[in-house]
Each structure stands twice: as structure tokens, then as C-alpha cells.
């Protein structure tokens, strides 16, 4: 169902403005989060089809990304960009 309703582009990804400086990426993501997150049964933030939201990753370059908690505090520096899986559906 996730793939048929827009896949990761709709449910997970936040497209950043490529013309804005990287220092503004965190602000862009924080502003977009309310449109991506829903409230679960016990009040926790969730991403439809994926479950509880714990944080997000900003890919700054192919070899540099940072994982943040939902409040925007950095938690981990990654040595490569994070790429969620992709689903391809073809008619039989």
C-alpha cells in the first residue's frame, strides 16, 4: 500500500531547496515535519506505513550525512548518504 500511495517520496522524503545554503537544511526539515508526521494511538509521532518517528537524516553530500532526533539535536555523523529502499511496481 505504501508504494501505491506515493511511496517514500510521499511518506518519508523531504525535498530541500537546492539553492538554500546547507546551514538552513535543518530549519527546512523542522518546518516540514508536521506535514509528514501523524499522532499514534499513544500520542507518539508516527510516519504512516513505517511506524514511530525517532528522528531524521539530512544528506549533505554523498559521503556526509547527519542523523538528528526529532528536536533537531545531532545524534550521529554518517560517512555516507542515507538512502531508504525503493519499491518498483510493474503490471503483470
Q: What is the pLDDT of residues 19-62, one digit of tens each?
A: 999 999 999 999 999 988 989 999 999 888 888 999 999 999 99
Q: What is the pLDDT of residue 92?
A: 65
Query: Is 69 contained in some domain?
Result: yes
Q: Can you give the residue range of the structural domain that contains 34?
A: 3-78
Query: Is 61 contained in some domain?
Result: yes
Q: How many domains is the chain built from?
A: 1
Place 73 in a pLDDT band, splitting at 50, 70 and 90: very high
* Phi, psi for 65 (deg, rounded to 5): -145, 160
Query: Is 87 contained in some domain?
Result: no
> String of b and e for 64-81 (b: at least 16 CB within 10 Å)?
ebbebeeeeeeeeeeeee
Q: What grid cell was written down for 5?
A: 500511495
H or E element at residue 10:
helix 7-11
Place 13 in a pLDDT band, splitting at 50, 70 and 90: confident
92 Cβ contact list (under 8 Å, min separation 6): none
Amino acid at each position: 500500500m505504501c508504494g501505491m500511495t506515493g511511496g517514500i517520496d510521499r511518506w518519508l522524503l523531504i525535498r530541500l531547496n537546492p539553492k538554500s545554503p546547507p546551514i538552513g537544511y535543518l530549519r527546512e526539515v523542522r518546518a516540514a515535519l508536521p506535514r509528514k508526521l501523524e499522532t499514534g494511538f499513544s500520542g507518539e509521532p508516527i510516519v504512516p506505513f513505517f511506524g514511530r518517528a525517532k528522528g531524521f537524516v539530512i544528506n549533505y553530500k554523498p559521503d556526509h550525512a547527519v542523523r538528528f532526533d526529532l528536536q533537531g539535536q545531532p545524534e550521529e555523523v554518517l560517512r555516507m548518504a542515507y538512502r531508504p529502499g525503493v519499491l518498483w511496481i510493474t503490471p503483470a
